[in-house]
Amino acid sequence: MHLFLFSMVVVVYTLAMAGNTAMVLLIWADARLHTPMYFLLSQLSFLDIFFTSVTVPKMIAGFLFGWTSISFVGCGAQMFFFMFLGAAECLLLALMAYDRYVAICNPLRYPSLMSHQTCLLMVAASWLGGSINASVQTALTLQFPYCGSRKIAHFFCEVPSLLRLACADTAAYEQVLFVTGVVVLLLPIAFITTSYALILAAVLGMHSVEGRQKALATCSSHLTVVNLFYGPLVYTYMLPASYHSPGQDDVVSIFYTVLTPMLNPVIYSLRNKEVTGAMKKVIGKCRVGRTA
């Protein structure tokens, strides 16, 4: 079982890194993909590369060499970057929903509303929001005294698992954690839901069957990623501690730390003709280069 788990984690992490790196390079290399939607998608893949690298390499080292200890500073750093990149991805997914809303509901104003400068501001806002969230959460979590057991019942330093080890009353902080969850999780979910309700109304009113299918294919890919990422996070950070157990938290955490970053490139490429077309073009060039 030990070897099996190690093999699975290595395979999934390798696929996640390869898929997201390929997506970033593909969007950068193909001029047809130099649009706001694909720019934001490349930023999502960029975040996923680092997000999964915060926890998985340490997990692999634990499986391979038995290195299951981590320093207090290392734990704080891991928690900060996990919260930073996770919150930034939450905000970016919401902004990607706005991009789809403008593209489908206001296509004539799309070039002006989604200019390159606007896209850069969106990405900067998601990174800034993530850094503020991580700074507050990490500082508040680490200020508690940890005078009992230092054994974390989890595969990485995550806030709920650390709070179980605190030697002080964490009830007030758990309320702060809930409010933060509302801002970082529920508000983006409400924004995404509203955007897609308006998109659905616009799509149903389209006369072109081809345009309707293209819009639904693009939006369904984004909604799939949203559900896979937000669902487990809402369970971890919004439900009271009484609903959690270490075993359940481990399984749920696997979804947003490993599986979702691996599946994102697959989901966005399978139902997207422009991405698959660009991929075929690159593969064709590689074959011609080898033949020559």
- Pick the range with the lowest mean pLDDT from 24-28, 49-53, 181-185, 240-244: 240-244
Give the CATH number of the domain where residue 203 resides.
1.20.1070.10
Structure token pair of residue 38: 């694909």
For residue 184, what is the DSSP state?
I
CA gap 225, 94 in Å, rounded: 11
Instruction: State how far Cα 169 lies from the chain centre.
Output: 31
C-beta separation of 195 from 100 below 8 A? yes
Answer yes or no: is pLDDT of 150 > 70.
yes
pLDDT band at 51 (very low <50, low <70, confident <90, very high): very high
pLDDT band at 292 (very low <50, low <70, confident <90, very high): low
Residue 249: its pLDDT value, please?
Answer: 77
Residue 131: its pLDDT value, please?
Answer: 95
Helices 36-65, 260-270: crossing angle, 10 deg rounding: 140
- Shortest CA distance to 271 belongs to which of 226, 219, 217? 217
Residue 213: its pLDDT value, please?
Answer: 76
pLDDT band at 146 (very low <50, low <70, confident <90, very high): confident
Q: Nearest-5° angle of CA 155, CA 157, CA 162? A: 110
Answer yes or no: is pLDDT of 270 > 70.
no
For residue 75, what are the CA distances in angstroms to 79, 89, 161, 162, 230?
Answer: 6, 21, 12, 10, 24
Query: Where is pLDDT greater, at 282 or 202?
Result: 202
Residue type, position 282, single letter = V
Counting the structural domains of the chain, the total is 1
- Pick the range with the lowest mean pLDDT from 8-12, 138-142, 250-254: 250-254
Tell me the whole-structure pTM to 2 decimals: 0.88
User: To which residue do tokens 């799309």 refer?
Assistant: 110
The proportion of the chain whose per-residue pLDDT surpasses 90, expressed as a percent, equals 33
Answer yes or no: is pLDDT of 173 > 60.
yes
CA gap 134, 156 in Å, rounded: 16
Domain span including residue 84: 1-289
Mean pLDDT of the chain: 85
Answer yes or no: is pLDDT of 102 > 80.
yes
Tell me the per-residue pLDDT of 187-208, one tens digit each, with 9 for 90 and over: 999 999 899 888 888 887 777 7
Query: Where is pLDDT greater, at 83 or 265?
Result: 83
Which H, E and C letters describe 89-124, residue by residue?
Answer: HHHHHHHHHHHHHHHHHCHHHHHHHCCHHHHHHHHH
For residue 99, what are the CA distances in angstroms to 26, 84, 106, 219, 242?
Answer: 20, 23, 10, 11, 38
C-beta separation of 105 from 127 below 8 A? no
Tell me the per-residue pLDDT of 108-118, one tens digit each, with 9 for 90 and over: 999 999 999 99
pLDDT band at 18 (very low <50, low <70, confident <90, very high): very high
